[in-house]
A = this chain, B = another copy of it.
Amino acid sequence: MPKQVDHEQRRRLLAEAVFTVIGTRGFEAVSLRDVAEQAGVSMGTVQYYFPTKQEMLLFALAHMRERVLARLQAAVAALPDPTRRDLVRAATAVMLPVDAPGREEACVNIAFFSAATVTPAYAEQLRDGYGRILTVSVANFREAARRGELRDGVDPDREAPALYFLTQGLVGPVLIGLYRPEEALALVDAQLDRVFR
């Protein structure tokens, strides 16, 4: 069996196991033994692919970014002939925990966010990831403005971050059951109505 395994694929598998553990038992419950059991391998195997727990979690964080990005691109690609507003709305819906994978991703993200407040390596990863998404969002809004799809007097450089952070602020309340996903989406739609023509 050895020699012909894809190391990166194996690492991704373990990262997914990390997500499951975080999503079901929480970040603090992540142990090498739990991850191994969740992935269906022995603890030694986990150690074989990650020299340390820290590196495992760091890789998991990086992999999470890729997973969110993939879901985002898939959601965008699923739209036939989308308007700029459709794109923005689809991207927003991906961020919100509306379905099972979205909820797991949100749980994992908030866990890493919390950990990032005391672990600079996580903070750096998150800054980069969120910064990129924000940049794309701003570019999207600018393009919408150029095409005249925005209402008069709407500043794309202001509304793009505003919508983005509104979305981020809705994630937590939805996760703890204070808001239902439909309510969150309704709030986003109301915001879109105010910005788009």
Contacts and interface: CB of A to CB of B under 8 A. Distances in A.
A145 interface: no
Contact of A176 (B113, B158, B166, B191): B113
B177 A127 contact: yes
Nearest to A24: B118
A190 B172 contact: no
A175 B117 contact: yes
Nearest to A193: B158
- Interface residues of A toward B: which range? 35 or more
28 contacts: A23-B117, A23-B118, A25-B118, A26-B118, A107-B114, A107-B117, A111-B114, A111-B117, A113-B114, A113-B172, A113-B176, A114-B114, A117-B175, A126-B178, A127-B176, A127-B177, A130-B173, A130-B176, A130-B178, A131-B178, A158-B190, A164-B169, A165-B166, A165-B169, A166-B166, A166-B169, A167-B169, A168-B172
